[in-house]
Structures are given as C-alpha cells and as structure tokens.
Chain A
Amino acid sequence: MKKILSLLLVIALCVSVCASVMAADNYVPSIGDKQEPEIVPDGDVIADIVEIPSDTVVDDITTHDACLIITSVATAQAGTNNIPPEAKEILLDVYEKLVDGSMKIPYDKVGKDPSTMEIRELFDISLICQDHNKLLGDPNNTLRVKFDLGVKAGDEVYAMIYVDGEWKVVRACENNGDGTVTVKLDELCPIVFVVEAKTPPAQTGDANRDTLAIYGGLLAVSLVAIVALFVVYRKKAAKE
C-alpha cells in the first residue's frame, strides 16, 4: 500500500512539474526587430549549390551543417555571431562608406538612376565549411538561396555583391511574388538588395526648404521686376 501511495505521489509530482513546464512553453515572445533577412528553407535545406545553367543540384546546405552565416550590420557591430573576421571588417567598412557617401552603388549596372534607388538591405553572406566552399569555387557552380525580404509582388529588386573592391550584379535575382527573393551567387561577401525609393511625405524641414526656395525666388524676381519697371517708367516719362 505504501509503495502504491509513494508511486502515486511521484506520478502526481511529475505531472505538476510537466504542467508548469507546458504552461511556461505556452508563452509566445513578441516579434522583435528584423535583423538580417531570413533564409526561407526548403525543409532542412537552406541553400543549394547548383550547376550553371542547368540548375542541377550539386550539393545541399542544411540547417545542421551550420555553414551558411548571414550577418546584418547590427549583428556585425555587436559581434554576436561567428562571421569570419575578414568578412566582418569588409562589411562594416562597406557600410561606413555607403553611409558617408564615399562609396556609391553602381546603379547604372542595372540600368537605374541612382536618385530613384535605395538600399533596402545590406548584409554579409559567408560559407564557412571547406567542402561546400570547394564546390562553390568551381566556376560551373553557383549558390542558390531564397530570402524573405517582405517585398511586394511586382517590386523591382536588384542584388549586388561586393567582391575585390567592386560591386557586381549577382547572377540572378528573382522576386518570387510572395515576399521572397531567390538569388544565385557565384561568390560570397557583402550583398545589397536595392529597390526603388519612394519619396516620403514632406516633413517640416523639407517643407521649409521648399518654401524658402520658391518664395525666396519669387521675392527676388519681383524686386528686380519692380526696379526695372520703375527705371523704364522714369525713362519714358523723361522722354515725354
């Protein structure tokens, strides 16, 4: 009897512990900030190395491989992942230069006017496993990966990679129409996704600048005109 009671007590204890664990597991965290764009996996596969141009899969990179490292600028600054040090340095250097304007994206390579474009995402993509890197090193192969960028169907999206001091257009960049974009990359490095910049509504500062430009010009022209009018009138009056 005592043994049965003890067993029942143990079972009751286990159930209550499990219940509290399950209750805690019901908590759903709030969505936080979106750091690096998320890769959209196909089951376990987060990217694959394919042959050009047949797209025959040569190799899969899975979540278990832990080989593909995506690093946002913020993550690189925080130093919270295992991006290779040289890749981190390049990413942060590129970021600083793009922000201070000393580096420009060559939008002409995608036939776009720079004044109409904006960088939606800048991040690094690195492959840290030797065997995958070897396969990607073959000029007949390319890395295919799908990112969730949240872009709208029909949005024009372009991708460029920064290699050997130069921005190059990626082999392929396709807006899948569901917010995701699939790219094919021959080399891995900092990558930018660029889109059309929409003009924001005028803020106070902008409105002020526009107002000053327009009405300042009008004031100046009116002043010149009234002076000219006066001079002409005086000359005419003097002749008569």
Chain B
Amino acid sequence: MGRRGLTKGAFLAAALILIFVMLYSGLQILGSTVLQNKGAPVATGAGKTVVYEGAEYYPRQDITVVMLLGIDEEGPVVESAAYNNSGGADMITLLIFDQKTQTCDLLVLNRDSMVEMPVLGLTGKPAGTLYGQLALSHTYGRGLEDSCENTRTTVSDMLLGAQIDYYFSMNMDGIAILNDAVGGVEVTVRDDFSAVDPTLVMGQKVHLNSQQAVHYLRSRQGVGTGLNMSRMERHKEYMRGFVALLKENLRDDPLYASQLLAQVEAYSVTDCSTTVLNRLASDYGDYTLGRILSPEGENVLGDEFYEFHLDEKALEKLAIELFFDKK
C-alpha cells in the first residue's frame, strides 16, 4: 500500500471510531431520556457484590423487589412545612417477585428494628446517620419521595445492599379504601379487640369492613399484648387475604392495579408510573404467594420505646438467600 493508501486508511479508521463514539453516546442519551420510563429501577448504591462466608455473591437479576410502606399519618399525603415530618413507617414489607419460581415472597420488617439510617438535613442533603428504630427513617425529609427514598436506602443497607426496584407508601386512611375496593378481606381475629372494636371478636372469622380493617391493622393500644410484633402477625394474615382478592380482580381486569392505585392516589407516594404498575401486575399477577418471612431478633424495652435488635448473622443469611446468587 502506498503512502496515500496508508493515510486514507488512517483517516477511515479514525472516522469509523468517531462514528462509533457518536452512535454510542447517542444511544446512552436516548436511553436516559426518551426511552426511560418513570419507574425504571433506581440505583440505590446497591448492585455490588458481597462476600459471605468466603464466597462472592452478586445481586440476583431474576427478582423484582417492591417496598410497601404504611405511614402513621391520617388524611391525604401533605408535604411537611419543616425539613422533617411526623410520619413514621409503621409497616415495612418487601414483595419479592421471583421469576425462577414464579412466586412472591413477603419480607415483613419490624418497624422497631434498630438500624443505622441516613439523616436528611435542612436542605435535603444527607447529614450523617442515626442509630434508631427503622420507622424513623421515613421521618427525615418532607414526607414525600425524599422520605421514601431515605427508607429505601435504609432498608437496602440493612439487607447487604439489596436492590429495591420500586416503592409504594400509603397513609393510614388508604387502608379503608383498599379494603373496600377488593371487596373486604376476611380474617380470623387473632387478638382481643374488645376495648377497641367490639365487632372484632377474638377467634371469629370476620369479613372486614373499612373501619374494622383500620382497627385490625393499625390498633395496638388496648389490643392483646399491645406489642408491635402481634400487630405484624395481623398484617401478615391480612396481606395473605388481600393478595388473594387482588389476584382474583386482576384476572378479570388487567388494568385493575392502576385503577386501585388511582383510588388511593391522594394517600400515597410511589415511584411507579401507571404504565409500570400495569406491567408489574401483568408480569407477576399470576405468581403464587410464597413465604411470609420476618428477620429474627429480640424485642426489648429501651429507655422509652421498644427496640427490636436484629440477629445480624441470621439477617445476613436471609438477605443472601433472598437477594443474591453465588458467583
């Protein structure tokens, strides 16, 4: 090849490289704008490999994790006027949709779990951490997406950096609406509600109306032992019934999930768009309800409030089992 040919070849090579760079950049830009939907999984700092018992594990790619939060606030969601808010996360549950087994496991976390959590400062930036009850993680921020994200980060960190793909939080008044929307959940009353709601007779099967559902899920004072752990058992029982009814409704109407969301929109905060929600319902609506799990630990009375001290080893093992695969 002559000198002219070599020069022509060099220019051609350079041009091809530049064209490739342009195409790649263009695709990246498209991917983060036009092609991205609101509900795309968010990197929470997770997605990293972990080392457990000498072996390396990476985050499972065949699960989708949705975090459900029940917020201790009445009425519609309102942005706090201060830089923190009064809505503790009283219920924290992860729905783990497993594509391999076509099941959905539930991981119900104790709101009193003692964990390290980010503190959000006056301008919304992280301002150190706090060791305290998991429920507090939602009280940092203004009670909207910022507070949900703070809880997502806290839960993810608690579970070795497990990726949480979506979240859905709801104020207490949403319980009544959801309960009625699915036709009322039936439960066998587990605790003594005589001081709170005499219509909930212990040991009897009750088809909960809206008011009963709120009492059953929310009440603690004057009910049974008064402990959050008893309330968590009621949450689990209710969720079994609710999921069954939800699936029935989804079979009849594939858009049911988004219609349900619309009914509680004023009481909820989510990073799921309607499109994403319907996609989740379509992809996972047929899944069988699997295990309902809770991390082990010890419930103790601290100086003022209950503290649930997690069994760290058992939690690690559980997190590896649910969210990671061996390399």
Chain A nearest CB, measured from B227 CB (Å): 8
A–B Cβ pairs within 8 angstroms, 10 of them: A30-B90, A32-B72, A32-B86, A151-B128, A195-B127, A214-B28, A222-B25, A226-B22, A229-B11, A230-B15
Closest 7 CB pairs of A and B: A201-B45, A118-B121, A74-B82, A119-B122, A120-B127, A33-B139, A219-B25
Chain B: CB-nearest residue to A230: B15
A198 and B43 within 8 A (CB) = no
B36 and A208 within 8 A (CB): yes
Question: Please, which residues of chain B bring their CB within 8 A of the CB of A35?
Answer: 84
Contact A28 B301 (CB under 8 A): yes
The contact string, 1 if C-beta is below 8 Å from chain B, for chain A 179-213, is: 10000000000001011111111111001100110
Q: Considering the complex, which residues of chain B in the window 15-36 have a beta carbon less than 8 Å from any beta carbon of chain A?
A: 15, 18-19, 21-22, 24-26, 28-29, 31-33, 36
B80 CB within 8 Å of chain A: yes
Contact A200 to B28, CB < 8 A, known contacts A34-B136, A218-B21, A223-B22 = no
Asked if residues A26 and B121 are in contact (CB atoms below 8 Å), the reply is: no
Cβ-defined contact, B135 with A30, below 8 A: yes
A215 touches B43 (CB 8 A): no
Query: Is A204 in contact with B42, judged by CB distance below 8 angstroms?
Result: yes
**B121 near A120: Cβ-Cβ < 8 Å:** yes
Interface size class of A (residues with CB under 8 A): 35 or more
- B residues with CB within 8 A of A: 4, 7-8, 11, 14-15, 18-19, 21-22, 24-26, 28-29, 31-33, 36, 40, 42-45, 72, 80-88, 90, 111-112, 118-119, 121-123, 125-133, 135-136, 139, 149, 153, 220-222, 226, 228, 301, 304-306
By the criterion CB–CB under 8 Å, are B88 and A197 in contact? no
Whether A202 pairs with B43 at a CB distance below 8 angstroms is: yes
Instruction: Given A33-B85, A34-B132, output 14 extra A-B contacts at Cβ < 8 Å.
Output: A31-B135, A31-B304, A31-B306, A73-B82, A74-B80, A74-B82, A95-B82, A99-B123, A120-B122, A204-B42, A207-B32, A208-B32, A214-B28, A222-B18
Name the prevailing secondary structure of the B interface residues.
Answer: mixed
Which of B84, B128, B136, B221 is close to A196, meaning CB atoms less than 8 Å apart? B128
Give 1 or 0 for each of A28-57: 1 = CB within 8 Å of chain B CB: 111111110000000000000000000000
Q: Which residues of B contact A29 (CB under 8 A)?
A: 221, 305
CA distance A196 to B87 in the complex (A): 26
Q: Contact between B126 and A33 (Cβ–Cβ < 8 Å)? A: no
Could you say which residues of chain A place their CB within 8 Å of the CB of B85?
33, 74
Whether A215 contacts B127 by the Cβ 8 Å rule is no
The reply to whether A99 and B22 form a contact with Cβ atoms under 8 Å apart is no
Q: Report A140-158 residues with CB < 8 Å from chain B CB.
A: 150-152, 155
